[in-house]
Amino acid sequence: MATLAPKNFEADKKFAEILHGKDTSKTGMSAWIQKSADAQQVAVDGYFKHWDGKTDQETETARLEDYSSLTKHYYNLVTDFYEYGWGSSFHFSRYYPGEAFRQATARHEHYLALKMGIKDKMKVLDVGCGVGGPAREISRFTGCSVVGLNNNDYQIERATHYAKKQGLDHKLSFVKGDFMQMDFEPESFDAVYAIEATVHAPVLEGVYGEIYKVLKPGGVFGVYEWVMTDAYDENNAEHRKIAYGIEVGDGIPKMFKRQVAEDALKKVGFQIEFERDLADVGDEIPWWYPLSGDWRYVQSVGDLYTFCRTSNFGRKLTTGAVGLMEKLGIAPKGSSKVTAALEDAAVYLVEGGRQKLFTPMMLYVVRKPLN
């Protein structure tokens, strides 16, 4: 079992205010260039100290033990880039011919809510809620109330801002917390979901166990889990390089295989009702197309806005621009290092997808027994 991180929420909040400022109305690049240079350097140093190319047991253990700080620093560094390039729902989706990017994103969230049976008036927990994109969509789709849990103060501020702006603050709330040691009362939620978030846990039994604890008996948990597939071989140098590239560019202490996730769910007491790798169902358009640079997959004129930022060409253009802005003193120092890590992550995500070594959407729908 990993060592749990000490809670110092007040210090976290103060650091986020220093780094990002108190104005939560700015997004994307306009928010990014106004970061505090000194605080940005602290975040860069705090994150990249763990990434030196090593994958030995001692190095991986250090990353796992520092899971909370590592994740907080990562999202302090990349949230503005994510919103700029991807939108407010930080996840991949399946894509159908003729379906626009934003439509696919919403459908992916609707599908999870449907499979889980989320309904009006349910109290639902979103574990690792990001800036609240899925919470807003699922609440509108089902009528449920959602509590978003996040260990990054900046993302909580962004999520709260969006909820109020869109008139959903009576249905949504966002709270600070560590998903390895939740502060909610036991058996207080009708349903819990996590979308590509629990991958940041150092031990899956830990986060799944906390989810089990806060669910009411008979409650349902649905998760799109990031895992390496059964085809992945930890001892294959090429495979490990791909996994490491995903880890360093996505703030993940350690990528686990599919079986690890399944075993962890069962070990904490969940009954698996549905499981399927939605990245491997024969889709004509692959989940990794927005990162690929392959124009044939663009479905609409509107998609060009996203594709030109997320494709390999767009990422290289952004990386070059960020490097220039950093040299000119417009962007905070360390920004080019962050964009380089994101660029590498995109490359390895695509390669992991092409070789079917990795999936961002291993869907599990599980239930807590009544007794």
* pLDDT single digits (tens) 47-60: 998 887 767 788 88
- Please say if the pLDDT value at position 198 is more than 60: yes
The answer to whether position 240 is within a domain reads: no
pLDDT recorded at residue 131 = 97
Is the domain of 70 the same as that of 170? no
pLDDT recorded at residue 240 = 95
Is the domain of 319 the same as that of 263? no
- Please say if the pLDDT value at position 193 is more than 80: yes
The answer to whether position 162 is within a domain reads: yes
pLDDT recorded at residue 173 = 98
Is the domain of 70 the same as that of 148? no
Q: Are 207 and 127 in contact (CB under 8 A)?
A: yes
Q: If we measure between CA atoms, which residue out of 163, 171, 99 comes closest to residue 142?
A: 171
Is the domain of 148 the same as that of 275? yes
Is the domain of 261 the same as that of 136? yes
Distance of CA 154 to the CA centre of its chain: 14
Average pLDDT, the chain: 90
Is the domain of 347 the same as that of 269? no
Where does residue 212 fall: left (phi above 0), alpha (psi -120 to 50 degrees), or beta otherwise?
Answer: alpha
* Least confident range of 49-53, 193-197, 247-251, 270-274: 49-53
Where does residue 98 fall: left (phi above 0), alpha (psi -120 to 50 degrees), or beta otherwise?
Answer: left
The answer to whether position 95 is within a domain reads: no
Distance of CA 319 to the CA centre of its chain: 21
Is the domain of 172 the same as that of 300? no
The answer to whether position 10 is within a domain reads: no
The answer to whether position 250 is within a domain reads: no
Is the domain of 146 the same as that of 265? yes
pLDDT recorded at residue 122 = 98
How far apart CA 313 and CA 319 sit, in angstroms, is 10
**pLDDT (average), residues 313-331:** 75
Is the domain of 107 the same as that of 36? no
Is the domain of 293 the same as that of 330? yes
pLDDT recorded at residue 333 = 80
* Segment 97-111, tens digit of pLDDT: 888 889 999 999 999
How far apart CA 301 and CA 287 sit, in angstroms, is 19
The answer to whether position 21 is within a domain reads: no
pLDDT recorded at residue 314 = 67
Is the domain of 132 the same as that of 186? yes
Dig out the tokens for 363 from the structure: 């869907």
The answer to whether position 346 is within a domain reads: yes
Residue 222 pLDDT class (50, 70, 90 cuts): very high
The answer to whether position 171 is within a domain reads: yes
**pLDDT (average), residues 114-119:** 98
Is the domain of 161 the same as that of 45? no
Distance of CA 13 to the CA centre of its chain: 20
**Number of domains observed in the structure of the chain:** 2
Q: If we measure between CA atoms, which residue out of 326, 324, 319 comes closest to residue 340?
A: 319
The enclosing domain of 268 has a CATH number of 3.40.50.150
Domain with 340 in it? 26-89+287-354
Half-sphere exposure of 129 (CA within 13 A, CB side): 34
- Please say if the pLDDT value at position 306 is more than 70: no
Please state whether beta strands 358-367 and 271-277 pair in parallel, antiparallel, or not at all (unpaired): antiparallel
* Percentage of the chain lying above the pLDDT 70 cut: 92
